[in-house]
């Protein structure tokens, strides 16, 4: 089928909203898998998800210093999400995501920038730890000292 056939056009009035959390872990053992399943079963969110993306391979063979992605040594990216129906429902869905994230947390707060929502400067910094952040700040100082390009997961030039 053509790729356009994979996705039906969205209904004009359909505007889903979700709370999310992205994290990096090194393993998912039986206990953690059980926690994921229990959380998914316990939620009544219209859509809830725990996506596990196995990392490694060619990506892991690239030196950390070669690109902005500093988490090449991590083995699994976890994306948690819960859709909510309106503002009154948001806090409950966020609590579900936060609780599951705490159950899966393995001591490293690293994240993948392309899955971040509007989570603040600290989370952006966690996507680019240590010398990666320093290199990106230097690039920003050189090529965008006025921070014109700031409507993303921003790295300020100072």
Tokens coding 8: 């039906």
Q: Is residue 53 assigned to a domain?
A: yes
Domain count, the chain: 1
C-alpha–C-alpha distance, residues 41 and 35, integer Å? 10
Give a yes or no: residue 51 inside a domain: yes
Q: Cα(106)–Cα(88) distance, rounded to whole angstroms? A: 31
Give me the domain span that covers residue 69: 15-127
Residue 84: CATH number of its domain? 3.40.462.20
Asked if residue 136 belongs to a domain, the reply is: no
Residue 155 belongs to some domain of the structure:
no
Sheet order of strands, 48-54 included: 17-25, 76-84, 48-54
Task: Show pLDDT as tens, one digit a residue, over the chain (158 residues).
Answer: 777 776 666 677 777 789 999 999 999 999 999 999 999 999 999 999 999 999 999 999 999 999 999 999 999 999 999 999 889 999 999 999 999 999 999 999 999 999 998 889 999 999 999 999 999 999 999 999 999 999 989 999 98
Q: Is residue 134 part of a domain?
A: no
Q: d(Cα 110, Cα 158) in Å, to the nearest integer? A: 22
């Amino acid at each position: 089928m053509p790729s356009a056939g994979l996705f039906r056009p969205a209904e004009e009035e359909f505007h889903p909203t979700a709370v999310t959390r992205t994290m990096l872990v090194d393993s998912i053992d039986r206990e953690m898998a059980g926690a994921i399943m229990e959380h998914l079963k316990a939620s009544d969110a219209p859509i809830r998800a725990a996506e596990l993306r196995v990392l490694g391979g060619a990506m892991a063979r690239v030196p950390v210093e070669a690109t902005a992605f500093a988490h090449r040594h991590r083995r699994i990216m976890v994306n948690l999400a819960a859709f909510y129906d309106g503002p009154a429902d948001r806090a409950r869905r966020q609590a579900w995501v936060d609780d599951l994230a705490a159950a899966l947390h393995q001591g490293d707060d690293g994240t993948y920038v392309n899955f971040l929502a509007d989570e603040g400067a600290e989370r952006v910094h966690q996507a680019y730890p240590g010398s990666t952040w320093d290199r990106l700040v230097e690039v920003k100082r050189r090529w965008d000292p006025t921070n014109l390009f700031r409507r993303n997961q921003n790295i300020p030039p100072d």
